[in-house]
Amino acid sequence: MAGRDDGNGGALQGVDLTLVRDRDVTEQDVGYTTRLFLQTLFPYRQQEVDKIVRQSGPHQVTAFSANGLPYGKYPRLIAIYLCTEAVKRRDLPTDEARRIPLGASMQQFLHEIGVMGRANGGERGSLRILHEQLRRLASTTITVEKIYEPQSESARMNRTSIKNIGLFDSMDFWVTPHPDQLALSEPYLELTSAFFQEVTENPIPVDLGILKALGRPRAIDVYLWATLKKFSLNRPFTLSWEQAQSQFAPEMPLTARGRADFKKTMDRTVKTITEHWSEAGLELTQEGVRLAPGQPSIPRRPGRRT
């Protein structure tokens, strides 16, 4: 078993994420995310809080939203769409590149982020959920705090670094009575300079086909963790059950019943992922979630060391 770490890919600074361009991977297949979202992991269900705190190795990651925390699959799919568009637009003038179009209609935007089928209204319809999750995501700020270990027992100085990253400077989004109705002006989200820089300087390639097929937020999170982890993995790695539950099911109680329920949930999740990514190399063992080395879902360029 590989050495234990937080499992979040924190050791990937400087890892080559160059993609294979001469295989069956097209620009339409490739999307991008950022380590920031992998460290944050928004809740899977609505919570009556406006802040969450995650521990990712030496980093404490805090997400705050004045409109309530984003939750479920929609903010994950929206975030990947925005990251992908930012990478595609990074050669444009900066102000233009940071202004991400959201589609001419709500139906078009839903299709852009991977929610297929006919959009619908109503209390729990996709239109209402889309608008609500956009509002929550647009008001989110993520704070990453790192507390450094003292260099020696006698050291009297401690070091802490903090980085605040607001996601968006502004948003203009039309909620229309009918999903195909065109907005009166182009809907957009304008990324903050800090977030745009974070995304375009450190993009993590992902397979959009797999993401759109998975559907459930926990499966999306585990898939993203696995494909990112494979960029630096050269021997099998096991995420302990304690670590896995803390990362992928913090809402479940830390009891024998809670652990049993989590194992059943992870069994279904891993089966769903391997159905769409047969070479994932994910399996559940007595020790935890085991990930075998191999190519990420978007392969590395041959001959490049990780």
For the chain, domain boundaries: 1-14+215-306, 35-202
pTM score, whole prediction: 0.84
List the structure tokens of 15: 């890892």
Which three-class secondary structure state does DSSP give residue 284? Answer: strand
The whole-number pLDDT of residue 221 equals 96
List the structure tokens of 216: 């459930």
212: pLDDT strictly greater than 80: yes
Weakest mean pLDDT among 129-133, 262-266, 271-275: 129-133
Which residues, listed in sequence order, are joined to residue 53 by a DSSP beta bridge? 62
Q: How far is residue 234 from each of residues 107, 116, 202, 294, 305, measured CA to CA in Å? A: 43, 37, 21, 8, 10
How many residues can be counted in the chain? 306
Which residues, listed in sequence order, are joined to residue 205 by a DSSP beta bridge? 32
- Structure confidence at residue 150 as a pLDDT band (50, 70, 90): low
Q: Which residue has the higher pLDDT, 130 or 301?
A: 130
The kind and range of the H/E element at 142 are: strand 140-147
Phi (first) and psi of residue 181, to 5 degrees: -65, 130
- Structure confidence at residue 273 as a pLDDT band (50, 70, 90): very high
The whole-number pLDDT of residue 302 equals 58
Strand ranges, E, within the chain: 30-33, 51-56, 59-65, 99-101, 140-147, 160-166, 168-172, 188-191, 204-207, 237-240, 282-284, 288-291
231: pLDDT strictly greater than 80: yes
d(CA 296, CA 228): 7
The whole-number pLDDT of residue 196 equals 95
The whole-number pLDDT of residue 306 equals 37
CB half-sphere exposure, 152, CA atoms < 13 A = 2
CB half-sphere exposure, 273, CA atoms < 13 A = 26
Which three-class secondary structure state does DSSP give residue 138? Answer: helix
Buried b (16+ CB within 10 A) or exposed e, 276-295: bbeebbbebeeebbbbeeee
14: pLDDT strictly greater than 60: no
